[in-house]
Amino acid sequence: MPFRIATFLAASAVAAGLAQWFFGWRFVGWGAWIGALAWLTLDAWRANRLLNVLRQGGEGLPSRGPGIWGELAERIRKLLREREQDTRQAQERLQEFLAAFQASPNGVVLVDEQGRIEWCNQTAAAQFGIDADRDMAQHLANLVRDPAFVAYLASWNYSRDVVIDATHARGRGGQPMRLSVQVHPYAGNRRMLLSRDVTAVEQAEAMRRDFVANVSHEIRTPLTVLAGFVETLQNLPLEPEERSRYLNLMAQQSHRMETLVNDLLTLSRLEGSAAPTLGQWTRVKALMAQCEDEGRGLSSRLAPQAGHRLSFKIEADSEIAGVPTELQSAMSNLLNNAIRYTPGGGEVGVTWRVLPDGRGEYAVRDSGPGIAAEHLPRLTERFYRVDRSRSRETGGTGLGLAIVKHVAQRHGGELRIESTVGQGSRFALVFPVTRVRAARAAAGALA
């Protein structure tokens, strides 16, 4: 301030001095006035210039000049620089937060007080069918129309999640999807939605329920029959032949239960144990020999008169790496199925060969009734049966192919099924190159 007063007085004095010099003493007063006016005009012009620059956003602030306007410009420039830095840091932090939300495996949607979308991550965009450009500021309830979700969003009671069906969300192409959505209010009435894909969890839960129901049913049936026979034996005086017939039927039922429990235990063992190592090699010839023994026995039991035309062919003398008992059980299962479902007199051919790419294939072809295409994808499901009565009659549990598939997968292989109704089926186990090698002289016996 003293500097301003000093410059103001100096301007008046200089102008008064010049007036006296050029025009004499009479004009000293005029000179002082003109000096003061000039100072004020310059001052006003500098103030105006600064104001204009600030109005235009502060770009091109005059560099530090003399006097109060110079200092003001300098201080404003410093403040603006600090503000810019803060803003940049805040932006960077915001971008980091958004990147973290993007990286989340869950869907995240931020909506404002009215339920309009403010931001969403890619997972949520894919789950709800939100177009990140077009749908911003749209009401979320207009895009996700599941009534349960709309009611949940409007309820303002978010203590629990809601599970919705997002199968028909835009861009999903009808692929099944179940989402668990939970809303978390923040900053007043703004809301954050977290969504989680629970399709697999729900499917697993449904499978578990079905499995328990199936097992109970499968066990209850023979148990009911057994209980009936026990009651009869207890209450009725029976002839020795009749008594022995009943006991035979009871033995059959308990055998059926035993087979079922054994298959269940096998399945749970397969699921719970580590994948077989490459350390144990078994000769295919030995595995096939055991299959042949079992198969011929089964054929003569099921079709004592007509029998089956069974053939066994080993195209390459190989060894397989894996658990011999599992491999044996999978191979026998396929052969036994072929015999069980092919009527007497039919043909069943078993081959082992090494494919051109080095993989090994064990295949069982039969001339049985064949399986309609719609059943093929479901054959390896537990308890799935096409021919329920034939399965029961021949001692099936409905778990055979599930076990075979597990064994194949544990050994890095696959189960291939081809079938034509009226012509027969072909079930093949294909083992990866790493688990197949040419037989060595010493190898042989089944462990």
- Least distance to ligand ADP, CB of residue 191, Å: 49
- Collapsing DSSP to helix, strand or coil, 180 comes out as strand
Cβ-contact 342, 364 below 8 angstroms: no
Nearer to ligand ADP, 154 or 373 (CB): 373
Determine phi and psi for 158, rounding to 5 degrees: -115, 30
At closest approach, how far in Å is the CB of 145 from ligand ADP? 41
Interface pick for ligand ADP out of 101, 152, 281, 341 (rule CB under 6 A): 341
3-state secondary structure of 438: strand
Task: Using CB under 6 A, pick the residue from 222, 276, 398, 412 that binds ligand ADP.
Answer: 398
Let me know if 163 is exposed, middle or buried by CB neighbors in 10 A (0-12, 13-18, 19+). middle
Minimal distance, residue 185 CB to ligand ADP, in Å: 52
Q: Is residue 386 a contact point for ligand ADP (CB under 6 A)? A: yes
365 binds ligand ADP (CB under 6 A): no
Between CA 34 and CA 253 the distance in angstroms is 126
Q: 16, 379, 428, 436: which one contacts ligand ADP (CB under 6 A)?
A: 379
Supply the minimum distance, in Å, between the C-beta of residue 392 and ligand ADP: 8
Which of 167, 351 has the CB closer to ligand ADP?
351
Instruction: Tell the smallest beta-carbon distance from residue 339 to ligand ADP (Å).
Output: 8
**Nearest Cα to Cα of residue 404 among 319, 320, 321, 334:** 334
Q: Name which position in 298, 397, 410, 429 contacts ligand ADP (CB under 6 A).
A: 397
Select from 127, 332, 337, 367 the one that contacts ligand ADP (CB under 6 A). 337
Compute CA distances 261 → 317, 397, 398, 412, whole Å.
35, 9, 12, 26
User: Least separation, in Å, of the C-beta of 243 and ligand ADP?
Assistant: 31
Count CB atoms within 10 A of the CB of residue 404.
24
Interface with ligand ADP includes 335 (CB under 6 A)?
no
Stretch that binds ligand ADP, among 127-135, 291-299, 305-313, 366-374 (CB under 6 A): 366-374
Q: How far apart are CA 412 and CA 434, in angstroms?
A: 9
End-to-end CA distance of the chain: 105
Q: How many of the chain's residues bind ligand ADP (CB under 6 A)?
A: 21
Residues 6+ apart with CB under 8 A from 383: 211, 214, 218, 398, 399
Where along the sequence are the contacts to ligand ADP (CB under 6 A)? 337-338, 341, 366, 368-369, 371, 379, 384-387, 391, 396-402, 425
